[in-house]
Amino acid sequence: MPKELLVDKLANLSVKIGANVQQDQVVVVNAPTESIEIVRKVVEEAYKAGAKEVIVNWRDAYTSKMAVEFQTIETLQDIPEYAIDKFKYFVDKGACVISIVSPVPGLNKDLDAKKQQAQAVASSKALNFYREHMMGNRSQWSIIAASNPVWAKKVFPDKNEDEAVEALWDAIFKASRVTEDNDPVKEWKEHNDRLIKHNIILNDYQFKVLHFKNELGTDLTVELVKNHVWSGGQEVATNGTVFNPNIPTEENFTMPLKTGVNGKVVATKPLDYQGNLIDDFWLEFKDGQVVDYDAKAGKSNLQNLIDFDEGSSYLGEVALISYDSPISNSNILFFNTLFDENASCHLALGRAYPMNIEGGTEMSKEELEKHGYNNSMAHVDFMFGSKDMNIVGETHDGEKVQIFKDGNFVI
């Protein structure tokens, strides 16, 4: 199968369906150095779509690691004005953003967690305006993935490096609905229609609370904000442009009430957080907040996430995905949230999306918080879906409705 053709198709998909680049729009491409091949294709497709300017925002996992290893905490916390001004330029120009992920799993496992945390908090505070802009859908944004040798060997440890890289590319293409003989743009429009149908059903119910339970130990109730909105697939930016934030995506998600989460949730997949793997972990919630937790691997990193700021110990998203879905059925553990979250029901610690409540994108932060919105500089998804997951929704009238049975949608 000619990979070059499929790389071209994925790049085109990221521009046409992902960010949906508009005529004379500035485009930012967040690009890891591992992905130069597809970056060049994305840039070319963006210009062909009418982009006024395409800015490639390069980042390198290895030199970023060196910065944390050798710099002092004080230097790491000093975010220079020129770095902040760059993101102000993106916001001022109404730029859309295409991010390419190509992780190096476990690269940062030996780094000083306190230094990592200090850098992350300082950067998040300095660039909070940009994060609010993008998470508020003030412009279009989209994420795709690219294979690299380290990631590929983590996913396919029994293959040699070249075979693993090709196998991971194949898995990325399949999950992204890109094949040699299909029209990915057409297929994604049909996929969006299917996700929208589920959104309509869930929105019509306007459940007050969801109850999750499985044999692994998850027994969790998640109250939803009033007038919540289920989303999934395509979204509409406040500039009126339709776009797809995640390629791939299989989820329907909405906003939990910040103080309305109670019980225990057991993760079913590892979480790659700041280049560190957190595995075999659970969280216990009371009145919305994490009150207890444990992990067999990466417990200190899990603690860093929970302690990131006040809002990172509360939930900002609940997402439903059938166990019988394409990425889940591939039986591939990607060690990357973009893929693994779309194989499993998941929750996110940290900031909620304003679009998940009626009129939310027009509300101030203070107005959103009055409705139960969780604000945070963090937003980190973790997976807890399973083949025996049962979900029961309770309406405001007290009606109980089976949403999931044995891991799959039944409504």
For the chain, give the percent of residues with pLDDT over 70.
Answer: 100
Whether the CB-CB separation of 262 and 289 falls below 8 Å is answered with: no
197: left (phi over 0), alpha (psi -120 to 50) or beta: alpha
> For residue range 107-142, what is the model confidence (pLDDT) as tens digits?
998 999 899 999 999 999 999 999 999 988 999 999
**Class of the 3-175 domain?**
alpha beta
For the stretch 287-329, pLDDT in tens is 999 999 999 999 999 999 999 999 999 999 999 999 988 898 9
Tell me what the mean pLDDT of segment 328-344 comes to: 91
d(CA 53, CA 284) in angstroms, rounded, equals 47
274 pLDDT more than 90 = no
| Alpha-carbon span 104 to 99, nearest angstrom | 16
Closest CA to 175 of 388, 361, 330: 330
Residue bearing tokens 């050798």: 70
> Phi/psi of residue 8, each to 5°?
-60, -45
Percent of the chain with pLDDT over 90: 93
Reply yes or no on whether the pLDDT at 337 is more than 90: no
How many helices (H) and strands (E) in the chain? 14, 19
Rounded to an integer, the average pLDDT of 156-176 is: 97
Query: Is the previous residue joined to 149 through a cis bond, with omega within 30 degrees of 0?
Result: no
Report the distance separating Cα 44 and Cα 19, nearest Å. 14
Cβ 303 vs Cβ 276: under 8 Å: no
Condensed to tens digits (0 to 9), the pLDDT of residues 46-55 reads: 999 999 999 9
- Chain-wide mean pLDDT for the chain? 95
Instruction: For 246-266, write each residue's pLDDT tens digit.
Output: 999 999 999 999 999 999 999
Does residue 30 surpass a pLDDT of 50? yes
For Cα atoms 352, 136, 48, give the angle at the middle one, nearest 5 degrees. Answer: 130
Helix (H) or strand (E) holding 278: strand 276-286
Backbone φ and ψ of 27, nearest 5°: -120, 130
Burial of 400: CB neighbours in 10 Å, binned 0-12, 13-18, 19+: exposed
- 3-class DSSP assignment, residue 36: helix
Q: How much is the pLDDT for 1?
A: 41
Domain boundaries, the chain: 3-175, 206-235+244-409
Predicted confidence (pLDDT) at residue 276 exceeds the cutoff of 50: yes
Classify the phi-psi angles of 3: left when phi > 0, otherwise alpha if psi is within -120 to 50, otherwise beta: alpha
